[in-house]
Amino acid sequence: MPTKTLAGKTVEVDAEGFLLNPDDWNESIAEELAREEGIQLTDAHWKVIRFMRQDFKERGQIPTIRRMKNAGGIPVQQLYQLFPDGPAKRAAKIAGLGKPQGCV
């Protein structure tokens, strides 16, 4: 498995840079992943990230855009503004989760 050093911690990642173990994640790693994605994290970004991690912890599945809208109360349009070019994929990566099902 490839590894990557993020925020001073060596973690295992897949070929696209997604963390393989969500427990390796912390907020410093999220900030570094966001910088790599060209995203400056705001409170709105953190709301999405924290919802995704909590939902994953409770359900064992990476939340879809529909779930983020319905259960998280985050409008789809806002998701696309916060995480352009694939909000589910980019948000999941920054949240330290795997690549969502159905993302190319």
Instruction: Give SS3 for 5.
Output: strand
The one catalytic residue among 67, 81, 103, 104: 103
Task: Report how far residue 63's alpha carbon sits from residue 57's, in angstroms, rounded to the nearest whole number.
Answer: 10
Residue 75 among the catalytic residues: no
Task: Report how far residue 5's alpha carbon sits from residue 59's, in angstroms, rounded to the nearest whole number.
Answer: 28
Task: Report how far residue 98's alpha carbon sits from residue 21's, in angstroms, rounded to the nearest whole number.
Answer: 8
Instruction: Report the catalytic residues.
Output: 103
